A and B are shown apart, each in its own frame.
Chain A
Amino acid sequence: MQSWRRRKSLWLALSASWLLLVLLGGFSLLRLALPPRPQPGASQGWPRWLDAELLQSFSQPGELPEDAVSPPQAPHGGSCNWEACFDTSKCRGDGLKVFVYPAVGPISETHRRILASIEGSRFYTFSPAGACLLLLLSLDAQTGECSSMPLQWNRGRNHLVLRLRPAPCPRTFQLGQAMVAEASPTVDSFRPGFDVALPFLPEAHPLRGGAPGQLRQHSPQPGVALLALEEERGGWRTADTGSSACPWDGRCEQDPGPGQTQRQETLPNATFCLISGHRPEAASRFLQALQAGCIPVLLSPRWELPFSEVIDWTKAAIVADERLPLQVLAALQEMSPARVLALRQQTQFLWDAYFSSVEKVIHTTLEVIQDRIFGTSAHPSLLWNSPPGALLALSTFSTSPQDFPFYYLQQGSRPEGRFSTLIWVGPPGQPPLKLIQAVAGSQHCAQILVLWSNERPLPSRWPETAVPLTVIDGHRKVSDRFYPYSTIRTDAILSLDARSSLSTSEVDFAFLVWQSFPERMVGFLTSSHFWDEAHGGWGYTAERTNEFSMVLTTAAFYHRYYHTLFTHSLPKALRTLADEAPTCVDVLMNFIVAAVTKLPPIKVPYGKQRQEAAPLAPGVPGPRPKPPAPAPDCINQIAAAFGHMPLLSSRLRLDPVLFKDPVSVQRKKYRSLEKS
């Protein structure tokens, strides 16, 4: 009985193991027998061929199939590209010269002002023969100027037809080889590299200056809506995007998210602005969002983004496919704060640099075409796409970003450790011997230039200095002070008036400070501007106050690039103004630098007694101080020419770290600054 039981259990175990063996073994055998199939998950990939070594190359180096070269191809019927339809040989010499066809008959105020703006620009030329680009303004339909074919039309060669509004009038003549600068052209009609895409400007867009971007802080406020959506009938509404909501796409079946608000006309405060739909509505929304610092999210735009040839829109907007709404939404929600921060700031920079006024749009258009003509000496992409932008960073100055004061960080470079001194000797014309000695004593001084600008003959003897001293015989014009002399070899310039007085240690300290802020002006004496309610205009004063917005250029460090900007980018009228009313030159220089940097200048300490003695209105030629009567006028004229008030106030002064601290003077590096 027992053995039977044992045997039975033995048999049970045995049969069980047999069963297992058959099952498992059979399964394995089955797998062996069947040819292997790709397993899901385990990727198979492209096979490694046994005879891969024997494969032939796609092109045989020996064969030269191209011996029969055809002559250069002619452009295909009717269509144009840059090489085929633009004659750059007309543009030799000093870059782009533009002739504008004068308007025939009555013209609108906008048209007149645009004409005036181009005529005042550095591109303008009076003769169509000397022009490299002929500009045809095609602005509004009523005046009818677009119906006539201009005289020098020449099949449109080297012509640019500028349309600020899309197709204002029916095309009455063949465009031929003319380029078209048009507001938000459709991608199908746009010829990349030939046409220029303009922004869609609203009717009331300011001609000059323009409203600054509306962003007041870098990062979005916590709790601000993620998304603003455009309404079909115009206006905006915000949507707090719950992940399931699909607030803009008709194909989504869910209810719109609970966080939606009523529609409103003005742009709501949101991080992203969703823009779908077609031009021109979408294009005008786009600009609106850009100004507001609301990152535009464009869904499959059928129109070309403005100035897409030079502006890297991926840094300021998101172009997504309208067919993947959920994916776009998820991407927006997951976007890193760093990216959001960068995109927001870029919208503001681009708005301010290229879009905020009609003048900027037109100048950008011309600059784009000039870049095509310039070829290798065009603006590098960095100059277009980072502050202050290509209109303010002239490629005629340099094409290397490290030559400008704005890109040291991006380039991983630093301003060089030496400066040039430029001393302006106006009337009465005493050689500034003491000043030269003080400046030459600085270890950072590389050269001294004396700009002799008065009626007296040049003195034959100059003091012996450790650094080279050059004397330039000037033209007696105040604007000469800011001419980009080729003899200036350093990045930094210390601009001085012969009557200024500085100590070596003041110079040394100020230069060290300038090296930390190479894009700003670093000065000793200041003045500040204010809004004069009584006169309804701007005024400025050199009185000592708790804040300042200008430093006097009779003693200031700045980058040599500002000489180029002063001489080559300012409208002629403003430079003439400076020559006629020399007190204006300080204001003008401060305006330029502030307009470029959007930052106030920097003040460093200045010896006390001399501060009292220093003239309030510097740079005035003549033995007696002139009444500062023209001064207020000049600030208003300049502000009008700029279209806005760029000056900003600062409430601080940069002192040496131990300045007037209760510690032994032996420890201090800039002792002489403390003597009072």
Chain B
Amino acid sequence: MARKPYHRECEEEAVCVIMCASVKYNIRGPALIPRMKTKHRIYYITLFSIVLLGLIATGMFQFWPHSIESSNDWNVEKRSIRDVPVVRLPADSPIPERGDLSCRMHTCFDVYRCGFNPKNKIKVYIYALKKYVDDFGVSVSNAISREYNELLMAISDSDYYTDDINRACLFVPSIDVLNQNTLRIKETAQALAQLSRWDRGTNHLLFNMLPGGPPDYNTALDVPRDRALLAGGGFSTWTYRQGYDVSIPVYSPLSAEVDLPEKGPGPRQYFLLSSQVGLHPEYREDLEALQVKHGESVLVLDKCTNLSEGVLSVRKRCHKHQVFDYPQVLQEATFCVVLRGARLGQAVLSDVLQAGCVPVVIADSYILPFSEVLDWKRASVVVPEEKMSDVYSILQSIPQRQIEEMQRQARWFWEAYFQSIKAIALATLQIINDRIYPYAAISYEEWNDPPAVKWGSVSNPLFLPLIPPQSQGFTAIVLTYDRVESLFRVITEVSKVPSLSKLLVVWNNQNKNPPEDSLWPKIRVPLKVVRTAENKLSNRFFPYDEIETEAVLAIDDDIIMLTSDELQFGYEVWREFPDRLVGYPGRLHLWDHEMNKWKYESEWTNEVSMVLTGAAFYHKYFNYLYTYKMPGDIKNWVDAHMNCEDIAMNFLVANVTGKAVIKVTPRKKFKCPECTAIDGLSLDQTHMVERSECINKFASVFGTMPLKVVEHRADPVLYKDDFPEKLKSFPNIGSL
């Protein structure tokens, strides 16, 4: 056996060798052992058995070390929080500076720690949990809140986590500062300062949802934290360091407690609802004035004063004597007021979003959660505090369709970024990650578009309206196997087209060399022959480096019936539609109601949904897409069946652009298998069946039918017009 580097495997081998040896002895044993004395015999046998057992035990131990270890760790990891180590903070231990308001990523963040990372993911380290006490042994803070424990667990379970402090780019202290009210500020700051990699707070991330305290309620955590990043709920424009801090939601425990099923968008019983308790009297007056003015459509709720014992008052709201369930009542309203309290960030925002109610945020200078990436205009209405009395008319001016859009968007924001501590933690890390690896950042659409929109929308890769200059010309690509004579005719014909700039022959025959250079037709443009490694149809769509133009003409080696005018006109049409397949023979897909599947159609129809790539212009980018981004196993399927590469290309382009093909010029009798049907000769049934199968196969891989049916084709402006032929740009069109 070969020697292996790992000791564990060596041990197993050793066990085997010894076992095998002992077996051998056992086999030979009867001949050997009876000659010894009985005393010795017993002695040896016992000894051997012990050794054997020991070895087997060791081997087994080595063999299943994981289960033993993990059960071991299970004991250790499942510790009690009361058992965490205690750290005493001397009264004179250093305190960090207050937060530096001028911090930006490029000044306060040490990006070198994030270094090169092929996955473009930051690494986050979490400090071990400790209990901090002051000189008198009085603890500095509560151990850890349920939410912060969840948050750290979420980070620890994510791809961001590392337990190697030396490889970490971001450090998260396990000191819980979610709620400033529970903190002793100075001592918490001292606890932060003594963290092993604190270094003025560089690359440290603190999570805080309830900042400030009475009486003035600062909008950011008051704990001095020097350069540490703050993920805070309730920032104002005065405290938020744009591009450095992260504004996060205030988590609402109701998100987990109450299951509010999604309610479809549309008008609801109340137009405007206020559910917050403990509002400033001034605001409450304003709201009640609205209620008086607009009657039933406005509902202003307050806490219940006359609830019987045992009823959870948090989950009830009252209007006069009417009792409502909270947060269920939010689902009865189209718009829900989210007013600032002493703090700008309010947990009610989360409840409102969950209910699919559009939040009306009345909190001047509040930085909405994740505003760096989330487009709150799509999900909320922000009203200045001084315009509170106009709220109703402002909301009424919003068109119904926009309201429904906002309702959907609100619910989606909750589902994606509010509904759990985990969602909040991961969104925060993603934002920081996007800053550090901006070229791998998540796009606006990925952050903001609800899944339904993401699925339904098409983003055309060639979205810029641009008519490429005619001078660029096109590259003709002829796929050939061995029909040299016909190939040469095609080359000669195509070379007459004025805008041809290069001709590429893809020689798909590995058994035969292409003809010698001297035998090829002499043409005015460069002619290149590319030899392929395998006879595959997809070779025709490979993005060869030789293609220097954007326009590609794919042409079969037997398409000799196209005139130079027709090809040149095809190129002109492509210039006006560079994001489409522009081709000559058109085909159609139809739904076969009897068979309940798609059918391929090549008859003289009034509609067209595909063009054959036996003669078609398209953008070379689609070659790249075909070769590298074709969904599923379509590419292999095409190569295996030696058919339908053109249908695959039609599917691909239609799917990625959402647009139909352009068929150019009148129908001709092309030399192609299915065209024989039109000649009234034998109908190649198997071919048609195969093509239909392709359509069904591709539609199932794409998960949809991307092809678009149109009823038009492109002709020259003066085609068949009563106009002197001599003056027409493309006279020779449509001749048979």
Evaluate whether A668 and B717 lie within 8 angstroms (CB atoms) in the complex, with A314-B443, A321-B436 already known.
Answer: no
Docked pose: A13 CA to B547 CA in angstroms: 72
Interface: B35 (CB within 8 A): yes
Closest to B40 in A: A7
Docked pose: A223 CA to B217 CA in angstroms: 60
The A interface, classified by DSSP as helix, strand, loop or mixed, is loop
Q: Is the CB of B111 within 8 A of A323?
A: yes
Q: Is the CB of B79 within 8 A of A50?
A: yes
Interface: A20 (CB within 8 A): yes
- Residues in B neighbouring A219, C-beta threshold 8 A: 550, 619-621
For window 123-156 of B, CB contacts with A under 8 Å fall at: 126, 129, 142-149, 152-153, 155-156
B80, B463, B545, B715: the one within 8 Å of A652 (CB): B715
Q: Is the CB of A49 within 8 A of B149?
A: yes
Docked pose: A367 CA to B439 CA in angstroms: 29
Evaluate whether A61 and B54 lie within 8 angstroms (CB atoms) in the complex, with A387-B465, A409-B658, A652-B715 already known.
Answer: no
B145, B377, B385, B659: the one within 8 Å of A378 (CB): B377
Q: Is the CB of B76 within 8 A of A36?
A: yes
- Residues in A neighbouring B73, C-beta threshold 8 A: 36, 44
Q: Is the CB of A318 within 8 A of B79?
A: no
Interface: A1 (CB within 8 A): no
B143, B161, B181, B545: the one within 8 Å of A65 (CB): B181
Contact mask for chain B residues 231-263; partner A; CB cutoff 8 A; 1 contact, 0 none: 000001110001100000001010000000000
Nearest CB of B to A665, in Å:
11
Among B340-348, B478-486, B640-648, the stretch that binds chain A is: B340-348
Docked pose: A312 CA to B236 CA in angstroms: 23
For window 14-32 of B, CB contacts with A under 8 Å fall at: 14, 18, 21, 32
Evaluate whether A348 and B466 lie within 8 angstroms (CB atoms) in the complex, with A69-B279, A381-B375, A657-B606 already known.
Answer: yes
Q: Is the CB of A318 within 8 A of B439?
A: yes
Interface: B97 (CB within 8 A): no
Q: Is the CB of A326 within 8 A of B717?
A: no
Docked pose: A199 CA to B554 CA in angstroms: 44
Interface: B720 (CB within 8 A): yes
Interface: B106 (CB within 8 A): yes
Q: Is the CB of B58 within 8 A of A658?
A: no
Docked pose: A332 CA to B714 CA in angstroms: 40
Interface: A331 (CB within 8 A): yes
- Residues in B neighbouring A83, C-beta threshold 8 A: 364-365, 384-385
Interface: A335 (CB within 8 A): yes
Interface: A653 (CB within 8 A): yes
Evaluate whether A36 and B126 lie within 8 angstroms (CB atoms) in the complex, with A21-B55, A215-B466, A544-B721 already known.
Answer: no
- Residues in A neighbouring B663, C-beta threshold 8 A: 657
Interface: A345 (CB within 8 A): yes
Interface: A58 (CB within 8 A): yes
B162, B461, B716: the one within 8 Å of A653 (CB): B716
- Residues in A neighbouring B164, C-beta threshold 8 A: 40
Interface: A548 (CB within 8 A): yes
- Residues in A neighbouring B730, C-beta threshold 8 A: 546
Interface: B520 (CB within 8 A): no
Evaluate whether A546 and B472 lie within 8 angstroms (CB atoms) in the complex, with A61-B253, A513-B712, A667-B606 already known.
Answer: no
- Residues in A neighbouring B216, C-beta threshold 8 A: 70
Docked pose: A40 CA to B398 CA in angstroms: 58
Q: Is the CB of B161 within 8 A of A45?
A: yes
Contact mask for chain A residues 498-522; partner B; CB cutoff 8 A; 1 contact, 0 none: 0000000000010011001000000
Q: Is the CB of B210 within 8 A of A79?
A: no
Q: Is the CB of B365 within 8 A of A84?
A: yes
A-B Cβ contacts below 8 A, count: 405
Docked pose: A346 CA to B715 CA in angstroms: 32
Interface: A207 (CB within 8 A): no
Nearest CB of A to B37, in Å:
11
Closest to B110 in A: A323
Docked pose: A571 CA to B550 CA in angstroms: 39
Nearest CB of A to B182, in Å:
8
Docked pose: A289 CA to B472 CA in angstroms: 23
Closest to A611 in B: B721
A69, A328, A331, A544: the one within 8 Å of B341 (CB): A69
- Residues in A neighbouring B720, C-beta threshold 8 A: 659-660
**Total count of chain A residues near the partner, CB < 8 A:** 144
Nearest CB of A to B730, in Å:
8
- Residues in A neighbouring B456, C-beta threshold 8 A: 411-413
Contact mask for chain A residues 338-349; partner B; CB cutoff 8 A; 1 contact, 0 none: 100110011011
Docked pose: A314 CA to B51 CA in angstroms: 69
Interface: A10 (CB within 8 A): yes
Interface: A576 (CB within 8 A): no
Evaluate whether A88 and B58 lie within 8 angstroms (CB atoms) in the complex, with A49-B80, A410-B458, A657-B607 already known.
Answer: no
Interface: B401 (CB within 8 A): yes
Docked pose: A652 CA to B102 CA in angstroms: 59
Among A150-158, A186-194, A425-433, the stretch that binds chain B is: A186-194
Docked pose: A65 CA to B238 CA in angstroms: 23
Interface: A315 (CB within 8 A): yes
Q: Is the CB of A57 within 8 A of B145?
A: yes
- Residues in A neighbouring B387, C-beta threshold 8 A: 88-89
A3, A64, A321, A516: the one within 8 Å of B712 (CB): A516
Docked pose: A61 CA to B350 CA in angstroms: 14
Nearest CB of A to B658, in Å:
4
Among B511-519, B571-579, B687-695, the stretch that binds chain A is: B571-579
Closest to B456 in A: A412
- Residues in A neighbouring B77, C-beta threshold 8 A: 44, 47-48
For window 188-209 of A, CB contacts with B under 8 Å fall at: 188, 191-193
- Residues in B neighbouring A659, C-beta threshold 8 A: 666, 713, 715, 720
Q: Is the CB of B460 within 8 A of A668?
A: no
Q: Is the CB of B576 within 8 A of A544?
A: no
Interface: B719 (CB within 8 A): yes
For window 245-276 of A, CB contacts with B under 8 Å fall at: none
- Residues in B neighbouring A513, C-beta threshold 8 A: 711-712
Nearest CB of B to A182, in Å:
17
Contact mask for chain B residues 529-550; partner A; CB cutoff 8 A; 1 contact, 0 none: 0000000000000000101101
Interface: B328 (CB within 8 A): no
Interface: B595 (CB within 8 A): no
Q: Is the CB of B402 within 8 A of A51?
A: no
- Residues in A neighbouring B314, C-beta threshold 8 A: 61-62
Nearest CB of A to B309, in Å:
14
Evaluate whether A345 and B463 lie within 8 angstroms (CB atoms) in the complex, with A327-B116, A400-B405 already known.
Answer: yes
Docked pose: A559 CA to B456 CA in angstroms: 23
- Residues in B neighbouring A624, C-beta threshold 8 A: none
- Residues in A neighbouring B716, C-beta threshold 8 A: 546, 651-653
Nearest CB of A to B718, in Å:
6
A51, A327, A399: the one within 8 Å of B82 (CB): A51
- Residues in B neighbouring A658, C-beta threshold 8 A: 604-606, 667
Nearest CB of A to B506, in Å:
17
Interface: A569 (CB within 8 A): no
Nearest CB of B to A464, in Å:
30
Interface: B710 (CB within 8 A): yes
Evaluate whether A375 and B55 lie within 8 angstroms (CB atoms) in the complex, with A349-B464, A653-B719 already known.
Answer: no
Q: Is the CB of A187 within 8 A of B54?
A: no
Interface: A547 (CB within 8 A): yes
- Residues in A neighbouring B572, C-beta threshold 8 A: 651-652
- Residues in A neighbouring B357, C-beta threshold 8 A: none
- Residues in A neighbouring B120, C-beta threshold 8 A: 331
Docked pose: A327 CA to B586 CA in angstroms: 48
Nearest CB of B to A252, in Å:
14
Starting from the known contacts A51-B80, A526-B717, A660-B720, 20 additional A-B residue pairs (CB-CB under 8 Å) come to A20-B14, A44-B73, A46-B126, A46-B157, A49-B78, A55-B146, A57-B145, A58-B182, A71-B280, A73-B365, A216-B468, A331-B120, A345-B464, A345-B466, A375-B382, A375-B383, A409-B457, A410-B459, A546-B718, A659-B720
11 inter-chain pairs at a CB distance below 8 angstroms, sorted by A residue, are A21-B58, A28-B62, A50-B79, A52-B149, A58-B146, A58-B148, A58-B176, A66-B341, A318-B438, A546-B729, A651-B717
Nearest 3 interchain pairs by C-beta: A412-B456, A46-B156, A345-B464
